[in-house]
Amino acid sequence: MDRLQLPQTERSPLVDFDFDRQQLRLEGESYPEDAAAFFGPLIAALDRYLERLRAEPPASALIVDLRLAYFNSSSAKAFMNIFQRLEAAARDGIEVRVNWHYQTDDETMMEFGEDFREDFQAARFELCVFD
Amino acid sequence: MPIATQYFDVHQRMRDQGVIFSFVGYVSEGILFSLGEALKQKMRLEETDANVTKRVFSIFVEQVQNIIRYSAERLHADSGTPAEMSSGLITVGRDATHFFVVCGNIVGRSEGEDLRVRLDELVRMDPDTIKSYYREKLREPPEAGSRGASIGLIEIARRSTRPIEFGLTELDADRAFFCLKAYI
């Protein structure tokens, strides 16, 4: 699969899905005009990729890094969709690690991280503070 | 009344109510973005606490996206492109103790009743209940035809530091004016 890369814009996050290195990165703010249109292709790619990993489990973990400053409720819904897929894959034996990066003192992003963390059992979900 | 007097009066009345800006008319996603940038800039210049700015901005985005998606007065592009403009009212301001974000738009009668039921429920919830309700809704598959509003309203209630206020006033047999005010 070809690496999926989208540049960061004022309203949508940077997306870098490096399938060969097993890394997915999202960075920035997220309140696109149409969240379904923005996240749809990413979720479709994730589905194809997880299917591939299920067929040939990799030796190392799939690493997902999220570093978001703000997102709207439609984007939160999309993140939940992504997380549910990652947790399901982890339950099937694929090692998944999600790093939720948030800036010190950012109460909203910390709270979202704590909320999302409760949905993970099989996958590892870490809160990572940065300055 | 001379026009300068007339409009200064409008201007003055708004300022007296603590209005930072107010917009009446057709809103689009482009207008949402520009007003949002102006709002963040204003709050930065006034050295507003970053967490307060985020709450205000977050409520502002959800409120305006609700107008764009649900106003009964809307214009569609003929070409079939997803350009959408919907009529409504957006006011952001600050009183002695709180920032506030008010949005209003015309809704169909049944949508209005639906909103009333949802918001009555939210108004009665305490912050912890709102938080767990949000988590529950986030996990559910989207409701048919909803375009995400149920979670948007919960987000507004959750980011408000005081209970949200809302109202509906009947315009005719089919339509009502709906408004929602949140405080931060």
Average model confidence (pLDDT) across chain A: 96
pLDDT at A1: 82
Above 90 in pLDDT, residue B122? yes
Architecture of the A4-129 domain: 2-Layer Sandwich (3.30)
pTM of the model: 0.92
Residue B170, strand partner residues: B176
Above 70 in pLDDT, residue B118? yes
Q: How far apart are CA A32 and CA A28, in angstroms?
A: 12
**Token representation of residue B91:** 């006011």
Q: Is A77 on the interface with B (CB under 8 A)?
A: yes
At residue A85, the 3 state secondary structure works out as helix
Name the residue in chain B with its Cα closest to that of A69. B54
Share of chain B above pLDDT 70, in %: 92
Residue linked to tokens 């409008």:
B10
For Cα atoms A16, A20, A22, give the angle at the middle one, nearest 5 degrees: 65
Return the half-sphere exposure (C-beta side, CA atoms, 13 A cut-off) of residue A19.
15
DSSP-derived pairing of the beta strands B84-94 and B19-27:
antiparallel
Which of chain B's residues have a Cβ under 8 Å away from the Cβ of A77? 138, 142, 148, 151
Name the residue in chain A with its Cα closest to that of B50. A106
pLDDT digits (tens, 9 = 90+) for A90-117: 999 999 999 999 999 999 999 999 999 9
pLDDT digits (tens, 9 = 90+) for B55-101: 999 999 999 999 998 888 888 766 655 567 899 999 999 999 999 99
Can you say how many angstroms the Cα of residue A4 is from the centroid of all Cα atoms in its chain?
Answer: 13
pLDDT digits (tens, 9 = 90+) for B27-47: 999 999 999 999 999 999 999
Which of chain B's residues have a Cβ under 8 Å away from the Cβ of A35? 148
The whole-number average pLDDT for the span A11-36 is: 96
Q: Domain containing B57: what range?
A: 3-183
Name the residue in chain B with its Cα closest to that of A81. B139
pLDDT at A8: 97
Of B174, B43, B15, B165, nearest in space to B104 by CA: B165
Q: Identify the CATH number of the domain in which residue B58 sits.
A: 3.30.565.10
Number of structural domains in chain B: 1
8 Å CB contact between A113 and A127: yes
Q: How far is B10 from chain A (nearest CA, A)?
A: 33
Q: How far apart are CA A83 and CA A88, in angstroms?
A: 8
Count CB atoms within 10 A of the CB of residue B145.
6
Q: How far is B100 from chain A (nearest CA, A)?
A: 18
Query: Domain extents for chain A?
Result: 4-129
pLDDT at A37: 94
